[in-house]
Structure 1
């Protein structure tokens, strides 16, 4: 018998199944690794190494402003600035807090206590105690809230006792104030953390530790600085602060035009009107970020260029002189008669070239009684409308002549008008029989009343009538004539806002008579300047302007840049009427200053020498407060131009709420004589300097700017 074969040990079936499963699992892993390495290896590696390029805009200095002779008016002052640019993926609140703590080691935040609110403290407490904060809100409550509502609810439930657990010392408040600024930053857009009073030491410390401060940079920002402090600033206007950026009410408008939220923009005056010119071309920086969203490098792809410059129409030397004159005369009038002039607070003046529309000077002097201070508020010449009185009688006469209700040489006896209970007369009882020229010379109210009555349809007036014929549409007719001169409509000046004045709502005969002598509707000083300029300019109504040219930034030291755009004379309309009518008004306006209502008010040495023509005005004006009449006052006005045969300067003056009669202190004439005298004095000085005076002054102004930059 042979030997028996030894029986081989058998692995349990379940163990075989396990080995098979493990074998298949490893095979799958090896296969997947092969696919990744061989087929998708390059793509996977690209994902690991992937970076993203994003372009960000860096602000540049705004354009400068110069006066008509090239003298620097508004400049940029460089200031040290600390900025934060968040990563593209964003930064968590914890990361921003950590960054704020690091940055607080190098910079100080003034008035941090005032900047930090209770909500900011609660948000800080939340970051330190997130688990406790989340426990304050039940799951059932959270179901009915979105994320922001949940967060707000948790903050609301943080108690004063819990806040008191933290010592809110100055150093911690600085950290929280810095974090607030970091929180406000937009993605990949530099946000200013601090740019006021950044010391050299702070600037150097931050610069030295930039590698530790992710997203922080030490750069240069710019503030606007006036080269003519104390004058014209309100017309220049303001720009938004670097901390606030674009005002919320204009945010959508600017964002749609490529601005960033924290850009500084013009918010008033010429800064707002010419924002697109002054803003400049931003520097474009390309940021390269890694897959984690961190910035790994940056490169300037487009060089920035500061904004274009404005050459104003303003003669800054004349502007400063007019400010001084108006303020001195206003102060004198108030101090001489403090009781009677207790409601007088403004002196408003505009001077312009009637042939081109260039505004040479505009001054609004305002007296703040509460603080006993005088302020420059030139915007009042555009915003404040007043009854001008007889200054508008030139428009009334032309309306009468062109409508045919009077003819050249029509004589009317200046005697009291009485229609039932309505009585009206001129300021003087000795005017007598006058034609339209003499009516202007002697400022006959009655003559203008007759024009108004005839426009209304009454040609057969006699003293004591019970009623007169009156067509209410005559109000529209008269106002349409006035509008042709710029009275009651926008002048079109290059400025963000201007008033058109009050329009009376009661078309009654007496009111139309008052309208004809400037004692019903109200007008601004700029409207009056345009009106008298239209008469001076033989019926051409010119758009007033504050800017003559737009220039590129200077080409080299000591020079103004080339002209990009020049604003030519813009004729808004031409008065379509017989030139003889305008000649009659010119003649009447000239007589006002040679032998009429202005002749005895200090004009003797000016009216002949400079050939001044124009019209005086006094309007009754009531002062009200809370619906109660406080006093009856007078508005004093004066409009004119010179030389009358070839006008180069026109002016308008309004001094509202004078409490004394014109003869006691004729402030409108005192201002008028002095500003006309100053205008021609400066002109004579420049004529003596020769034809290169403007060039030399431009170079001088630009040299001053260069010195500031250096």
Structure 2
């Protein structure tokens, strides 16, 4: 009976314990359900957003640059499409993944071995490769203290330092491994989501390009695409002026880094580093194609789309006539060669000739040529940039400005005569013309190129109207400022405003003595560029209106998939910088003097131009340019200059040319021959166009 009671009591206790257990389980499930409810109802959207989290990033792909054409629509600078293999890494791409891609890519392409046959691989590249292949071994060389106290970058640098030269040497890397290193070296330059060129151009064969394109699914981040390189149909005829681009490895110019970065450039973008490529960079660069990349929280690209369509750069139509440019270069080369061969002695200093042709009405530069004879290589080279960057004494070519200064300052009047005989100022050497010319007026002074007439103008502007032989002059140094002010109205000694980087404005003498002003008046003190001189003669030809010389004629919108010129975006209209503050009668008078130089008996250029149908006008110039070595005069030399325009009664072309340090006693009249040759070329070409 007692046992039965115990069993009954035990049975009664069992459900109670189960109830407690069930209750605990119920509480746990209730808490779990409550927690799930909080997650689903209160924080569900937040957690789902975290699961689905992506980010949008943008990258820009370069487009072909704008082209350059001459005034007749002939292509001067174009683009050549070329194969390119590029690499665009995800944001989180690690070095090991890049190496894997490089190893796969190396089975499809070949890299340039380089001059030393090592593919351009450095010692650091080898150590980086060794580390990735022996990571655990490299890590074992760090102490626990170093791992705790160093960040990842410091640890990596330390491990690389501890890879010995002997280990690298014993690795005896194969050509295939070196090639992989070369590929990875280029890949390592890439910034996240920004294409980096691995190889391109002649280094990529059509077969390699096709193989890479076929296996892109196995080459994460790699693309087989098209890049562009400049082409020059006229070779180097005008290439110095069109300029150069930076290399891809160089990228944007370091000295203008902030300028480019604030205007949307990437660091590895190629930009114009010189010439018109630099001057019109913002127009030629075009609009990059903008790609939107969508990445997940692991920084893996999950989608991409074109956000902004790219458009190649706008095209430039230049004022240059390339056929005339070719002929000008040829004439300069021919006459310079002849002059060097016919020197009365070996003049090793005469090595170049420069010329510029311009439309005096519009400022269009029609041709700008220069030829330099490299005596060491015994070959001619184009040196047209010297017309803008190098300044010389142009001698008597400036006498038109001197006469006009005399008129406007009131020290002479049209028709005023002086007796041309040597000038002797106390304490200075005798100054004279090339021979005594007797009584000359202003027109005679220009036609015969009288130095003495110009000396009288300078002395009078300095305040001395009563020159007495062998006596000191009464001289006001401010005369320098006054005469230079008149000269500057023609563009002499100041910027011409030409659309080209780094224009020289010449040398301005700093010693304001009377004798130097006399030299200034005959073009033998201050120096000028050939571009300044063509602007000066154009201003006289253009009745005193100084126009801005320019290479750009118009900007055209590009036409997709066409070699044709597109519609006009903007015309570069003629810009008048100033009108000289001189009476028109004075300018007419100098124009007549310049006509007589080329057309009338006794004119210093009459022999070469009076029988030409285009009826030119202008001025000759000879300036002392003696050759000195180690402070001692070696021999005499002269700059031979010539400026002019034609026809004299309705000018359509102006020119300026100079042959520096041409020596004396020349058997070959190089400056006259060049002037005659380039004018002949201009009018023959234009007559041909008119007939067509």
Q: Same fold (TM over 0.5)?
A: yes
Kindly state the Cα deviation for residue 428 of structure 1 after the two structures are TM-superposed: 2.5
Secondary structure in structure 2 of the residue aligned to 1:673: helix
* Residues 609-648 of structure 1 aligned to structure 2 (within 5 Å): 609-624=613-628, 630-648=634-652
- 2: CA distance, partners of 1:69 / 1:260: 35
Say whether 1:196 aligns with 2:201.
yes
**2:17 is matched with which residue?**
none
Q: Aligned partners of 1:294 and 1:488: how far apart in 2?
A: 62
CA contact (8 A) 1:409 1:435 kept: yes
Aligned mates of 2:135, 2:508 — CA distance in 1: 63
SS in 2 for 1:417: coil
**Larger displacement relative to structure 2 (193-202 or 334-343):** 334-343
C-alpha distance 431-340 of structure 1, shift in aligned 2 (>3 A)? farther
TM-score (norm 2): 0.92
- Residue 675 (structure 2) pairs with residue 672 (structure 1): yes
The counterpart of 1:231, out of the listed 223, 234, 237, is 237
**180, 184, 187: which one aligns with 1:179:** 184
Q: Note if contact 2:639-2:661 (Cα within 8 Å) is conserved in structure 1.
A: yes
Q: Which runs of 5+ in 1 are unaligned?
A: 12-16, 690-710
Deviation at 1:232? 0.4
Q: 2:503 aligns to what SS in structure 1?
A: coil
Q: 1:95 to 1:332 in 2, by over 3 A?
A: same
Corresponding residue for 2:105? 103
1:587 and 2:589 matched: no
Q: Which segment is superposed worse, 25-34 or 593-602? A: 25-34
Distance 1:292 1:54 in 2: 14
Contact 1:288 1:295 in 2 (8 A): yes
SS in 1 for 2:553: strand
Aligned match for 2:400, one of 388, 394, 397: 394
Structure 2 residue runs of 5 or longer lacking an equivalent are 15-19
CA distance in 2, matches of 1:192, 1:303: 21
Q: Specify whether residues 530 and 181 from structure 1 end up closer, same or farther in structure 2 by C-alpha distance, changes over 3 A only.
A: same
Contact 1:601 1:669 in 2 (8 A): no
1:209 pairs with 215, 219, 222, which one? Answer: 215
The two structures have a TM-score, normalised by structure 1, of 0.90
Partner of 2:227: 221
Of 491, 505, 508 in structure 1, the residue corresponding to residue 510 of structure 2 is: 505
Pairs within 5 Å for 1:217-296: 217-296=223-302
Residue range with higher mean Cα deviation, 401-410 or 346-355: 401-410
Helix, strand or coil: the match of 2:187? helix
Give the match for residue 521 of structure 1: 526
In structure 2, relative to structure 1, the CA distance for the partners of 1:139 and 1:325 (3 Å cut) is: farther
Written as runs of structure 1 = structure 2, the 5 A alignment for 1:15-164 is 31-87=34-90, 89-112=91-114, 113=118, 115-130=120-135, 133=138, 151-152=156-157, 154-164=159-169
Q: How far apart, CA to CA, are the structure 1 residues paired with 2:192 and 2:541?
A: 58
When residues 167 and 34 of structure 1 are mapped into structure 2, their CA distance, relative to the original with a 3 A threshold, is farther
**Cross-structure match for 1:481:** 486
Query: Measured at CA, do residues 78 and 179 of structure 1 come closer, stay the same or move farther in structure 2, by a change above 3 Å?
Result: same
Separation in structure 1 between the aligned mates of residue 145 and residue 477 of structure 2, nearest angstrom: 72
2:609, 2:615 within 8 Å by CA — same for their partners in 1?
A: no
**Equivalence for 2:309:** 303
What is the deviation of 1:272?
1.1
Give the match for residue 537 of structure 1: 542
Within 1, Cα distance between the matches of 2:588 and 2:481?
25
Contact 2:291 2:307 in 1 (8 A): yes
Alpha-carbon distance in structure 1 between the residues aligned to 2:415 and 2:439: 11
Structure-2 change in CA distance of 1:639 and 1:156 (3 Å): farther
Instruction: Provide the rounded CA distance (Å) in 2 between the counterparts of 1:449 and 1:25.
Output: 116
Q: SS in structure 2 opposite 1:122? A: helix
Task: Please say if residues 340 and 660 of structure 1, whose CA atoms lie closer than 8 Å, have aligned partners that are also in contact.
Answer: no
Question: Map of 1:272-671 to 2, 5 A cutoff?
Answer: 272-337=278-343, 339-465=345-471, 467-554=472-559, 559-594=564-599, 595-599=601-605, 601-606=607-612, 609-624=613-628, 630-662=634-666, 664-671=667-674
Bigger shift: 221-230 or 524-533?
221-230
Contact preservation (8 Å) 1:555, 1:561: no
CA distance in 1, matches of 2:154, 2:2: 92
Q: Deviations over 1:670-698 (max 9, x none)?
A: 10001111111111111111xxxxxxxxx
From the superposition, tell whether residues 461 and 557 of structure 1 become closer, same or farther in structure 2 (CA, over 3 Å).
same
Higher mean C-alpha displacement, 153-162 vs 192-201:
153-162
Secondary structure of 2:124's partner? helix
SS of the residue aligned with 2:173? Answer: coil
SS in 2 for 1:100: helix
Distance 1:365 1:2 in 2: 134
